[in-house]
Structure 1
Amino acid sequence: MPSANVIDEVVLSSWSEFAAASDQLDGWVFRGQADQSWPLVSSLTRHLARYCPDPSLWPLREDRAIRVFRRKAHVFLQDASVLEDDLRCLALMQHHGAPTRLVDFTKSPFVAAFFALQQLRADSAAVFALNTPALWKVAPRFDAALNREAIDLRKPGSYQKYFAGNSLPLVWFGEPNQMDARLVAQSGILVVPGKLEAPLDLLLGEYESDEPLIRKFILPASVRGEALRALYRMNITAATLFPDLDGLARSIDYELETVWEQLIVDYRSRPTKT
């Protein structure tokens, strides 16, 4: 039976409350979502749920997508060896827009808040905090041998053995042996579910733990302006989190929204020269 201590939900009313609360979670990792009602699932789950309603077909669809990517991606790569490493290949797919079972988290609560609030979709956003210090020490109750080290996706064959079949209620987290520029810029951590149909909090309910494994911070839309100004001062923008031309272009959203407007106000308030 799933643990009752999997998730804590905390409703916040200010940006300062979030900063203070997240500061207490040393070693945890974070994920921002622009609508607090969205389940904690991968982009692949969302895509397949929309276009392939039969979950029994999902492992076949996923396997084919990875094979197609591997057959063709080498054309664009200087070093195609990245495609031979399952985790690095999936990370490459993910960060170039392909749906995968990876769920992006970050070591920075502020980076997560940026992703939650920049493109706010509802009255409230959410930042999920994953208790990785606790997850180092626990294993699923159906097989205590399947701890994080045993199913390490950086080991050859682990993906096929524990994840590709889409049948085991497992959760693994970590970084590839070699990280791409976006993962570095975002202080990224990859969280990988063993079953696509289940949200991460449900899968973690299969783990034996005496403390909550996920905390969900709900951020109201009213904090967005203050939060984005604070994050801009921290140099947390799309331009820094996506260190390429695409990221620079994305960052123009905020320049149009707030910064240029403030410059106009400042300019018009200057004394007139005589």
Structure 2
Amino acid sequence: MLCIDDDRPHDFMFHLWGHGADPVGFLATPFADGEGAINVRPQTMFVRAANGSLYPDSAKTGDLDGFTANLRRTKAGFAGSWSHVDGRGGRVLLSEGPHGHELIAESCETWDQFKTWAVRARQSLDAVLFRGHGSNKFRLQTTLHRAGRTRLDRYCAEILPAFHAQVEAVLGLKLDMTDGRDYALVMGLAQHHGLPTPLLDWSESPYIAAFFAFSDALEYASARTDVTHVRVLSLARDFVDVSSPPTVVLEYATPYVACLAIPPRLNPRLQAQQGRFLVTNIADVQRWFGKAQKQVDESFLHAIDIPVECAREALEDLKFMGVTAATMFPGLDGVSRKLRHEMAFSRPPIRSAGLPAEAAAPLQPEHAAGTSGPDEKE
């Protein structure tokens, strides 16, 4: 596996593994050879830690001396050869993998048909997690990978510590990143406040997933004039169960997709959205799912496409279910987004309720007007 961050195109991070051998990695520097090829020379060796991650080992780095690779870019990645000064060598092929594992989505014509599908997804597909996309052309990909970052070792060493320090400063709390619960809390805050992460948001509700699909499509309608359908994806219980290990190592050495527990503490959005998360080091998760399903001859990722013109009807209906931007995003931002959605509704909002009238002046006691009480003498 080759990981290259867009902002550091001259740092090649290789992950290597095979049958009967522990995964290893090495950081290499590419040099153009002047003939359209790239010479790659390893600089730092990474070995596997007890938790499955890779860490730099200066004692092992010397083992890389004498190795080099000559690579050429292809449509799918890189191809070429490797060699050692002692005469050893072989072929190198780094590819995104074969196509043909694309997700085939169902299609519906109305919002009511989607609601029928949601019931069937729970009863027949045993779907337990759902995710909404504002366009059926969007790939299943994390915000970190969409930002051109693929090196989770660098992300965990540089970006997360910087965000962690800011979280402590803003919230006035001490969070221990060696504690899995605090680590997960920081990851959840990063995801819900716009920092690119290797996480994928899911919800336990197909209607919340549909809300995010339609609200995204409505808000970006003027910029996405070619969008015809939104998409809701579902994951089956079998996959969620087998992909929920007791602990998850973000910078794991080999490709993975896993469920990650994020506590709702300090994150009211997570509770409101019935949120669950997947974490991965794979750039194209959708292709990975397709390949995995073919290998086991079982389908656990499903999808349905809904016409984008159903957005207004769907969001109005979801409001009756209690699913609005105000409930999904507690706070003034959510209220503003909710009202922005209602501006596009076909039906006007209900009239605001009246305020109580000003209270009448209190009645005066009988004797306050100068009358004599029963016990008073003239």
| Bin of the TM-score, shorter chain as denominator length | 0.7 to 0.9
CA RMSD of aligned residues (A): 2.8
- Residue number in structure 1 paired with 2:332: 245
- Residue number in structure 2 paired with 1:186: 273
Deviation, 1:134, is: 1.4
Indicate which of 270, 291, 305 corresponds to 1:205.
291
Work out whether 1:47 is the aligned partner of 2:144: no
TM, length-normalised to structure 1: 0.76
Work out whether 1:22 is the aligned partner of 2:22: no
5+ residue gaps, structure 1, are 139-146, 265-274
Where do residues 2-151 of structure 1 align in structure 2 (5 Å cutoff)? 7-26=103-122, 27-48=127-148, 55=150, 57=151, 59-61=153-155, 63-81=157-175, 84=179, 85-120=182-217, 121=224, 122-131=227-236, 133-136=237-240, 138=242, 148-149=244-245
Deviation, 1:98, is: 0.8
CA distance in 2, matches of 1:169, 1:134: 19
Change (3 A) 1:239 1:82: farther
5+ residue gaps, structure 2, are 1-96, 218-223, 352-378
Q: Is the 8 A contact 2:240 2:259 kept in 1?
A: no
**In proportion to residue count, which structure has more strand?**
2
SS of 1:81's equivalent in the other structure is coil
Equivalent AA in structure 2 for residue 9 of structure 1 = A
CA distance in 1, matches of 2:154, 2:199: 17
Q: Is the 8 A contact 1:185 1:241 kept in 2?
A: yes
**In proportion to residue count, which structure has more helix?**
1
Q: Is the 8 A contact 1:107 1:188 kept in 2?
A: yes
Deviation, 1:200, is: 3.9
Q: Is the 8 A contact 1:134 1:209 kept in 2?
A: no
- Residue number in structure 2 paired with 1:142: none
Per-residue CA deviation, residues 164-216 of structure 1 (Å, 9 max, x unaligned), is: 15x42211124324452111000111111132x22244256336544312111
- Over the matched positions of the two proteins, sequence identity in percent amounts to 25
Deviation, 1:7, is: 4.2
Structure with bigger RCO (C-alpha 8 Å, 6+ apart) = 1
Equivalent AA in structure 1 for residue 257 of structure 2 = V
Aligned length: 238
CA distance in 2, matches of 1:247, 1:87: 24
Per-residue CA deviation, residues 105-133 of structure 1 (Å, 9 max, x unaligned), is: 001111111111112141111111111x1
TM, length-normalised to structure 2: 0.57
Change (3 A) 1:8 1:39: same
Change (3 A) 1:239 1:177: closer
Q: Is the 8 A contact 2:289 2:301 kept in 1?
A: no
Structure 1: 4+ residue segments shifted above 6 A: none
- Residue number in structure 1 paired with 2:255: 169
Q: Is the 8 A contact 2:128 2:204 kept in 1?
A: yes
- Residue number in structure 1 paired with 2:37: none
Deviation, 1:259, is: 6.5
Equivalent AA in structure 2 for residue 80 of structure 1 = K
CA distance in 2, matches of 1:251, 1:229: 11
Change (3 A) 1:8 1:65: same
CA distance in 2, matches of 1:259, 1:18: 20
Equivalent AA in structure 2 for residue 12 of structure 1 = C
Q: Is the 8 A contact 1:135 1:213 kept in 2?
A: yes
Equivalent AA in structure 2 for residue 129 of structure 1 = S
Change (3 A) 1:126 1:97: same
SS of 1:205's equivalent in the other structure is helix
Equivalent AA in structure 1 for residue 143 of structure 2 = S
CA distance in 2, matches of 1:46, 1:239: 27
Change (3 A) 1:5 1:21: farther
